[in-house]
Amino acid sequence: MTDWLEIGNCRIACGDCLQILPELEAGNIDAVVTDPPYGINACTMTLGMGKKEFHRGDWDNERPDMKPLLGVGRYHCVWGGNYFSDELPPSNQWLVWHKVNDGRSFSECEMAWTDFAPQLRHLSHHWGGEEKHHPTQKPERVMRWTLSWLPDEARTVLDPFMGSGTTGVACIQTGRKFLGIEIEPKYFSIAEKRIRNAWENRQGKLF
């Protein structure tokens, strides 16, 4: 059985989500919101136009199987869903983050496949002033915006590819319960710290 760490209304675990998922009570999870590896070798990146390429590990060498995730929860959101078009059902309920990159060589947008957004919606948000803990980390504002499209009854959110924990932080900020799984101990440790800080900050504001 998996050892879960509890932080307020969050439970997080370090391990392979495809091995842990069968242990979960699917009926207790309302939504899966995640940003999985895309299998596009994003671990080999540049810092922009003309900059030297560098390597950040092997975490994006292969994309995971989406089928087990679609069997958990009623609502689903997969950032980078355009890379899983052969596994995800057709949808016109996409979320698009316009990065406002000022013409630099990074992608101008990222796309999330969902089965709950009201048609296609987009958010323009330039990354700035927020510390980055993971190469493909989403800004907290982007994840709060993502969660804002979930129906009100979706109170418990699972992120099986938790990374540095931004989905968990956004869940705390929006009053939702969170389950997170991360296979890499380095990022699990970062996620634990960020989620703990977010929970303590929320409790401080409430009292």
Distance of CA 201 to the CA centre of its chain: 21
Residue 42 has a pLDDT of: 57
Question: Domains of the chain: which residue ranges?
Answer: 5-206
Q: Residue 43 in contact with residue 59, Cβ under 8 Å? A: yes
- Convert the pLDDT of each residue in 89-98 to its tens digit: 999 999 999 9
pLDDT value of position 135 = 82
How far, in Å, CA of 45 to CA of 106, rounded?
Answer: 10
Higher per-residue confidence, 54 vs 166: 166
Q: How does residue 105 score in pLDDT terms, banded at 50, 70 and 90?
A: low
**What letters, b where the CB count within 10 A reaches 16 and e where it falls short, cover 53-89?**
eeeeeebbeeebebeebeebbbbbbbbbbebbeebbe
- pLDDT tens for each residue of 139-175: 999 999 999 999 999 999 999 999 999 999 999 999 9
Which candidate, 107, 104, 156, 174, places its Cα nearest to that of 136?
Answer: 107
Rounded average pLDDT over 14-34:
92
At residue 179, the pLDDT reads: 98
Which letter does DSSP use for residue 18 in this model?
H
- Specify the CATH superfamily of domain 5-206: Vaccinia Virus protein VP39 (3.40.50.150)
Query: What pTM does this model have?
Result: 0.89
For residues 150 and 109, is the Cβ–Cβ distance under 8 A? no
- Side chain identity at 109, as an amino acid letter? C
H or E element that contains 168: helix 166-173
